[in-house]
């Protein structure tokens, strides 16, 4: 039995989003060396920690699948592995999803934006800035021959 055009479009849209936002760590095409500065990684780790704490309120899989990925010297990503927590993208973006893989019936997911809320939290931003500053100060002191 052939699927309708709208069902195919919904399935394609869902697959595209899940491939972008819920991916394996090795699948990130960033074009960088993957060697982030310690300060960048420290700040990203603060956001990842808060995202895990937010997700732990409603999920057991999402916190375990959330991690920091180094992209280049000035960039790191906080990601959730979709193969370990396939419900992460529907929760974060309030996407519709097929229940138990039945792509004929799509259901709305309640919004539980664990990662966006972590990024918007003022206390987390301040803690991340402090972590970045501390790590960057130590790294610069080391690079220029000072002891810290």
What would the mean pLDDT of 102-107 be, rounded to a whole number? 86
Q: Is the pLDDT of residue 53 over 60?
A: yes
Q: Is the pLDDT of residue 3 over 70?
A: no
Q: Is the pLDDT of residue 12 over 70?
A: no
Q: Determine the Cα–Cα distance for residues 16 and 112; give it in Å rounded to an integer.
A: 20
pLDDT in the model for residue 65: 94
Q: Which of 56-70, 99-113, 117-131 has the lowest mean pLDDT?
A: 99-113
Domain boundaries, the chain: 24-143
Mean pLDDT of the chain: 80
Band the pLDDT of 56: cuts 50, 70, 90. Answer: very high
Q: Is the pLDDT of residue 26 over 60?
A: no
pLDDT in the model for residue 119: 92
What would the mean pLDDT of 51-60 be, rounded to a whole number? 96
Q: Is the pLDDT of residue 148 over 90?
A: no
What would the mean pLDDT of 119-141 be, rounded to a whole number? 93
What would the mean pLDDT of 33-43 be, rounded to a whole number? 82
């Amino acid at each position: 039995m052939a699927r309708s055009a709208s069902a195919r479009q919904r399935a394609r849209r869902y697959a595209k989003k899940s491939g972008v936002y819920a991916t394996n760590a090795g699948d990130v095409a960033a074009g960088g060396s993957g060697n982030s500065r310690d300060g960048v990684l420290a700040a990203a780790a603060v956001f990842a920690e808060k995202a895990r704490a937010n997700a732990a309120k409603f999920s057991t899989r999402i916190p375990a699948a959330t991690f920091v990925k180094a992209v280049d010297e000035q960039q790191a990503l906080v990601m959730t592995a979709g193969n370990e927590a396939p419900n992460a993208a529907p929760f974060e973006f309030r996407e519709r999803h097929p229940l138990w893989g039945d792509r004929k019936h799509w259901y709305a997911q309640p919004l539980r934006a664990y990662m966006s809320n972590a990024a918007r939290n003022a206390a987390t931003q301040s803690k991340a800035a402090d972590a970045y500053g501390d790590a960057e100060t130590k790294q610069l002191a080391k690079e220029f021959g000072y002891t810290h």
